[in-house]
Amino acid sequence: MNMEGGKYNTHVSEDPSNGIPVATATPISIGEFGSKGSLHFKTAKRESSRLHDNPRGVAAVVVCWLVFLLLVIILALVPLWSMGMIPTTFCNTRRNTQYVTVVDDNKMTLMLTAEEIPETSDVDAQCKSEYGPTASVADWSYDLLSLSTDQVDEMTAVLGIVQTFNEKFYYVSNGGDKFFGEGNQAYFFENHGGNPPGNLFSDSYDSYKVLIVHDQMADITLGSTLSWYDISGQVLCIQKASSNEASNPPAAPVPALPIVSICQSKDPTFFITNPKALCSECSCVVVGGCLVKETGSTFTCEIDPEHFVDEPTCLGDIGVFCEQYHSAPTTVTFENVGTLMLTLAKIPETSDFDAQCKLEYGTDAHVADWSYDLLSLSTDQVDEMNAVLGIVQTFNKKNYYVSNGGDKFDGNGNRAYFFENHGGNPPGNWSPLPDQLGAITLGSWYGISGQVLCIY
């Protein structure tokens, strides 16, 4: 029907109060008619589909929900952040990676810092910052040298220390020192797969990295920079849990192994033209010394008197039999004591000191004893021994193994006896002192390396 030019829907119903029919009319918009004038009736479904017809509205709703969820997550994480748990829980999975092993019945946990820092930073403080007050920088001599080759391989695999060359620097200390010598050349190691790059021991001072190798163990090489020291890297941190030393028997001695060191020659032609100079350059002029050619200017000095007994054996390995240039070792003799000399090799305190003396100096040599041998020396004789054998004054850096009263270890623990030249003034951390003789001080500790004082 049409009322005043408008269009209406009419509906007739019965009034329930009196039964009289009642007609009602509702207006209809023009848009509700079809193209041919037919009437299309709207339903509530049209109302519910308005959002679908408006993509911007849908996007706005989604954004609002996402913002709400983000606020909820942030509010939930605030307590964790305040407790310092966010970096280890969410930001860096590397910090959760730890290599745990056991050395001499003591648990050792090694881990890398998440942050790479310049070599001028406090590496110990970085370990404590990331892993707590019990963490410290790992030491090459006191910690890593006590690991076996298999343990080193496990450590590099677990911590993701992949093979690189002059790219990755992992800071450690060495004998308690952060820097090499008196300079600012920080100690670090890199995984070279057992083959250090050719710039080691280079005498070139160009702008590229010139590195010095100090030691090698399995695939990793201890180094420091020579003329270019602006580096950055991660710190290898350690946490140690010592067992009760009084209740544990000493670890079984580890048999002495052949001494192997890597040498980078300045003139590899010496292998043919001047083998004696090459042996001397590589510190291989010893009994059982064989200098084996590897690649380029790289040589390996292998010292094994039981294997390299003659020149043909060494030549069979394509090497120079350096023993032929060997002269008598540096020794000092006292009539009331005997002949004293130091081993060439630095070995961990778990090694067999007597066996190392016999390996280098023959079956009559054995480890010197503090009580039975050294205490028979006068103060002047101690000074003479130090001067002849090159035992210079140091503090917590050099360890010279001896026995004491026939014992290798102090008490029932695993702290091996050794002495150091303190010039008569031992440092404060040497307390209480087991004994002192002139300039040298007797001490005992574990997780160290050093030379053996031998006697025959």
Q: Which of 273, 272, 271, 308 is nearest to 287 (CA)?
A: 308
Q: How far apart are CA 186 and CA 168, in angstroms?
A: 14
Q: Sign of the CA dihedral 259, 264, 265, 268?
A: positive
Domain extent listing, the chain: 2-42, 55-91, 94-243, 259-325, 332-455
What's phi and psi for 402, nearest 5 deg? -140, 165
Residue 349 near residue 254 (C-beta atoms within 8 A): no
Residue 349 near residue 446 (C-beta atoms within 8 A): yes
Q: Which of 283, 375, 272, 377 is nearest to 325 (CA)?
A: 283
Q: Which amino acid type is present at position 219?
A: D
The string of DSSP codes covering 11-36 is EEEE-TTT--EEEEEEE--GGGB-TT
Q: What integer pLDDT is reported at residue 412 of this predicted model?
A: 72
- Within 13 Å and on the Cβ side, how many CA atoms surround 413? 15
CA 48 and chain centroid, separation: 64
Q: What integer pLDDT is reported at residue 421 of this predicted model?
A: 93
Q: How far apart are CA 323 and CA 312, in angstroms?
A: 12
Q: How far apart are CA 267 and CA 264, in angstroms?
A: 9
Bigger pLDDT: 416 vs 225: 416
pLDDT band with cut points at 50, 70 and 90 for residue 275: confident
Q: How far apart are CA 444 and CA 456, in angstroms?
A: 23
CB atoms within 10 A of CB 405: 9
Q: How far apart are CA 88 and CA 114, in angstroms?
A: 9
Residue 168 near residue 220 (C-beta atoms within 8 A): no
76-85, 203-212, 435-444 — which is least confidently predicted?
203-212
0.75 cut: is pTM over it? no
- Joined together, the tokens standing for residue 236 give 């290898």
- Joined together, the tokens standing for residue 453 give 């004082």
What confidence tens digit (pLDDT) does each residue in 96-119 have?
Answer: 577 887 776 678 889 999 889 988
Q: Which residue is associated with the tokens 């020192």?
A: 177
Residue 349 has pLDDT above 60, yes or no: yes
Q: Which of 179, 112, 108 is nearest to 146 (CA)?
A: 108
pLDDT band with cut points at 50, 70 and 90 for residue 416: very high
Residue 363 has pLDDT above 70, yes or no: yes
What confidence tens digit (pLDDT) does each residue in 281-322 have?
Answer: 777 777 788 888 877 778 888 887 778 878 888 877 678 888
Residue 98 near residue 109 (C-beta atoms within 8 A): yes
